[in-house]
């Protein structure tokens, strides 16, 4: 009798423990709350979570570099990264030159194009990157992809960091300082419209976007093939006309150590009808998050779980 009671007790204990063990927590490192990564990350987390099985959460971070380092160190299960940063980390090039390669970095999906924004006050007289010399310019925080790209853009136009008065702050802080006249310009790399810039443009503070075009931009794209010609359409920001700039892909990366079944289920859920409808309605960049775009511009290996889904969908051989 005692043996049967013991078996019953153990059986009940196993039944109570099993769902807890089965539930997977999957953190997504995003960016600052005023950018595009954070709201898109929140939408994706809600869309791919499966009660009792997978709980995905979006976490605010400093951005691409911080996310890749978080994934590499095990502090995050996954994160968003600019395509250049992800490729540099995996190959030990660019900002990862001389540092250990992040060889376990794996792709879940290419998401949407990220535009390089250079924001100034209307009537500032700043018409090109070269005009930034001697000006107060925010380049975003260390750990952000924006800081990496801002430095590359400045160099392409012959502007050294010592030629400007740099500030290393997030775009929402930069927007406040620009509004107050305490800053002349700021860079931000993200899907348009970006919350901080849209808020600034709608607040009565007239803004302009400085074009990134001409021979300097052409040369920059030649040496950095992940960059593409991009246009921020007229009306994306209040009273701002269309402007030519450059863009690269926003990508969702994870570790090779992440559970294959979990990544498969997350990828499958992301491209299900409910998630696709939510993303398309929730943000201007949501309509770019399709399974067809997921496999474009990828410079690192896919995670086996994601690869399985794309093969089933006929997108990878």
The answer as to whether 13 is a domain residue is no
Q: Which alpha helices (DSSP H) does the chain contain, by range?
A: 2-22, 37-48, 64-73, 83-91, 145-156, 171-179, 195-202, 214-223, 260-270, 273-282, 291-294, 304-312
Token pair of 155 as six digits: 């160099």
Q: pLDDT of 79-120, one tens digit each? A: 999 999 999 999 999 889 999 999 999 999 999 999 999 999
Distance from C-alpha of 41 to C-alpha of 288, rounded to nearest angstrom: 14
What confidence tier does 17 reach under pLDDT thresholds 50, 70, 90?
Answer: very low
Q: Are residues 139 and 210 in the same domain?
A: yes
Domain total in the chain: 2
**Domain limit, last residue, from 192, 224, 248:** 248
Please tell me the predicted confidence (pLDDT) of residue 18.
40
pTM of the model: 0.84
Q: Burial, 252: exposed, middle or buried (Cβ in 10 Å; 0-12, 13-18, 19+)?
A: buried
Phi, psi of 180 (to 5 degrees): -85, 0
pLDDT at position 11 over 50: no
Secondary structure (DSSP) of 76-94? -SEEEEEHHHHHHHHHT-G
The answer as to whether 6 is a domain residue is no
Check if the beta carbon of residue 245 is closer than 8 Å to that of residue 231: yes
**Domain limit, last residue, from 197, 222, 248:** 248
Check if the beta carbon of residue 144 is closer than 8 Å to that of residue 31: yes
Q: List beta partners, residue 188.
A: 117
Domain that holds residue 280: 23-112+250-312
Q: pLDDT of 110-168, one tens digit each? A: 999 999 999 999 999 999 999 999 999 999 999 899 999 999 999 999 999 999 999 99
82: domain CATH number is 3.40.190.10
The answer as to whether 5 is a domain residue is no
Q: Which of 89, 94, 144, 138 is nearest to 114 (CA)?
A: 144
Distance from C-alpha of 3 to C-alpha of 229, rounded to nearest angstrom: 73
Q: pLDDT of 51-89, one tens digit each? A: 999 999 999 999 999 999 999 999 999 999 999 999 999
Hey, is 104 helix, strand or coil?
Answer: coil
Check if the beta carbon of residue 258 is closer than 8 Å to that of residue 303: yes
Q: pLDDT of 257-311, one tens digit each? A: 999 999 999 999 999 999 999 999 999 999 999 999 999 889 899 999 999 999 9
Q: pLDDT of 183-200, one tens digit each? A: 999 999 999 999 999 999
């Amino acid at each position: 009798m005692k043996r049967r009671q013991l078996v019953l007790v153990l059986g009940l204990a196993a039944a109570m423990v099993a769902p807890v063990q089965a539930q997977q927590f999957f953190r997504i490192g995003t960016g600052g709350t005023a950018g595009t990564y954070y709201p898109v990350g929140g939408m994706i987390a809600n869309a791919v979570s499966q009660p009792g099985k997978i709980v995905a959460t979006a976490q605010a971070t400093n951005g691409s570099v911080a996310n890749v380092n978080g994934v590499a160190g095990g502090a995050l299960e996954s994160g968003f990264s600019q395509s250049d940063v992800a490729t540099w980390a995996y190959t030990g090039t660019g900002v990862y030159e001389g540092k250990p390669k992040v060889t376990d970095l794996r792709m879940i999906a290419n998401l949407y194009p990220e535009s390089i924004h250079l924001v100034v006050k209307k009537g500032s007289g700043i018409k090109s990157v070269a005009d930034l010399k001697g000006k107060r310019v925010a380049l975003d925080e260390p750990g952000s992809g924006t800081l990496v790209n801002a430095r590359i853009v400045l160099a392409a136009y012959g502007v050294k960091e010592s030629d400007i008065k740099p500030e290393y702050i997030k775009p929402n802080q930069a927007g406040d300082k620009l509004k107050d006249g305490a800053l002349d310009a700021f860079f931000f790399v993200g899907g348009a419209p970006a919350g901080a810039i849209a808020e600034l443009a709608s607040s009565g503070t007239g803004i302009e976007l400085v074009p990134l075009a001409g021979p300097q931009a052409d040369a920059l794209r030649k040496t950095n093939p992940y960059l593409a010609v991009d246009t921020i359409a007229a009306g994306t920001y209040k009273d701002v006309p269309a402007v030519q700039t450059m863009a690269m892909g926003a990508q969702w990366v994870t570790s090779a150590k992440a559970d294959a079944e979990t990544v498969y289920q997350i990828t499958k859920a992301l491209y299900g009808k409910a998630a696709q409808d939510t993303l398309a309605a929730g943000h201007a960049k949501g309509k770019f998050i399709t399974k067809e775009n997921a496999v474009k511009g990828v410079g690192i290996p896919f995670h086996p779980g994601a690869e399985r889904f794309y093969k089933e969908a006929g997108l990878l051989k």
